[in-house]
Structure 1
Amino acid sequence: MNETIRIYGYHGTSAEAAAAILQTGFNISSNEYDWLGKGVYFWQDAPLRAWTWANQNYPENPAVICSSIRLENCIDLLDIKWFPFIRRVYNSFVAEYESTNQTLPQQNPERSKAHRLDCAFFDYTVEKVLQPEGQIVKAIRSVFVEGDRIFPNSAVFDLAHVQIAIRDTSLIEESCLIEIPGGI
């Protein structure tokens, strides 16, 4: 799929969950609303972004884990080479839903952070298109535009970030709890 890239990923969670993760390892999330499908989610090179998320979701005891990650066998949506493939797969994804009279999963990113359509599409791509062809996907990486424009008419958003879903936890090489002095 691509060469191996090494990055730092930051995982926001609670202090209790962080202690368990450091002891026993990460668990794969498989929520129907996860943006990139099944995986352990990280913010790439963004410890304060992970802290903000952890603090919003676990205000009594937020924590951030920093992990050294090897990105290999990655659908890397930072690279334009993937988009012709994605567009072809999307057509077969829609056709499969239509052939079974199912409604496509719904999402409205402007109103909800539940990305059901994206999640279903990426799980379909990995599990029904690539795996049957013998291609193993261990990670998916993409840019997500969130938040507000940093000034009127700017194309830059204050919460935009690179998100990574690690589908194979063997890519996570080392992890440690990090301190964010005073939070933000």
Structure 2
Amino acid sequence: MSDYQSLNVIGFHSCDEVLGKSLLMGRSELRPSDNAWDWLGPGSYFWESDPSRALQYAIENATGIQKNKEAIKIPFVIGAIIELGNCLNLVEAESLEILGESYNGLKELHDTLGLPMPVNSEYNRALDCAVIKYIHESNKKIGRKAYDTIRCAFPEGIEAFPGSKITSKLHVQICVCNPDSIKGYFLPKPFEKYNPHLFKTVPLT
């Protein structure tokens, strides 16, 4: 973790309305994702500082453009205050060195066992996930403090304009590994912009 990293960030989670309301009421906790294609490994995923992107993803999931194990029925966006804590921040140099070293360690292990390395594809980040999991396992073996969160920029989408290295869905994502890092939830304002389905039957007054 960088000496100059912010302590807290605001993240936004795409979910179904039923789950979102239950989180706000303190009746549920987020169930961490643990798929082989989760690019930052096991954890709960948030869009950093971008409720519009969270809503877009929720809508894409509800309409079948994005696939998850459990489809969203009514798109909902919930905000969260996240304490980064011990963060593997993959937009700073020291964390990227750890990432490179872990890839080398994972490759050496696979070579020794005669196993092929996982491979990334457009929608399946099996290699990224395997490297992150290797970091977690290595930390556990040597008694190093576990990461609370992982933060990374993701260049998703097509080029923003012809010849650009900026992509149309570029975003920063937070993977929360330690649920205690989520300090609280809130409903982002303006309500009708980020959760428009709330007001389809009950008008604003």
With normalisation by structure 1, the TM-score equals: 0.90
Structure 1: state its 5+ residue gaps.
none
Q: Would you say the 8 A contact 2:13–2:79 is kept in 1?
A: yes
Query: Partners of 1:67 and 1:2 in 2: how far apart?
Result: 22
3-state SS of the aligned residue for 1:9? Answer: strand
- 1:17 Cα offset (Å): 2.3
Query: Partners of 2:49 and 2:18 in 1: how far apart?
Result: 23
Worse-superposed segment, 81-90 or 145-154: 81-90
Q: Would you say the 8 A contact 1:7–1:44 is kept in 2?
A: yes
Higher strand share: 1
Worse-superposed segment, 35-44 or 80-89: 80-89
3-state SS of the aligned residue for 2:15? Answer: strand
3-state SS of the aligned residue for 1:17? Answer: helix
Aligned partner letter, 2:193:
P
| Partner residue of 1:155 out of 145, 165, 169 | 165
Q: Would you say the 8 A contact 2:77–2:195 is kept in 1?
A: no
The runs of at least 4 consecutive aligned structure 1 residues that moved more than 3 Å come to: 1-4
More relative contact order, 1 or 2 (CA 8 Å, 6+ apart)? 1
Partner in structure 1 of residue 177 of structure 2: 167
Worse-superposed segment, 170-179 or 8-17: 170-179
- 1:180 Cα offset (Å): 4.7
Alignment of 1:57-76 (within 5 A): 57-59=61-63, 60-76=73-89
Partner in structure 2 of residue 18 of structure 1: 20
> Which structure: larger Rg?
2
| Partner residue of 2:133 out of 112, 123, 133 | 123
Partner in structure 2 of residue 84 of structure 1: 97
Partner in structure 2 of residue 104 of structure 1: 117
Pair 180,166 (structure 1): closer, same or farther in 2 beyond 3 Å = farther
Partner in structure 2 of residue 45 of structure 1: 49
| Partner residue of 1:181 out of 167, 173, 193 | 193
Identity rate, percent: 28
Pair 30,62 (structure 1): closer, same or farther in 2 beyond 3 Å = same
3-state SS of the aligned residue for 1:24? Answer: coil
Q: Would you say the 8 A contact 1:48–1:180 is kept in 2?
A: no
Query: Partners of 2:182 and 2:43 in 1: how far apart?
Result: 12
With normalisation by structure 2, the TM-score equals: 0.81
3-state SS of the aligned residue for 2:129? Answer: helix
Partner in structure 1 of residue 38 of structure 2: 34
Count, aligned residues: 180
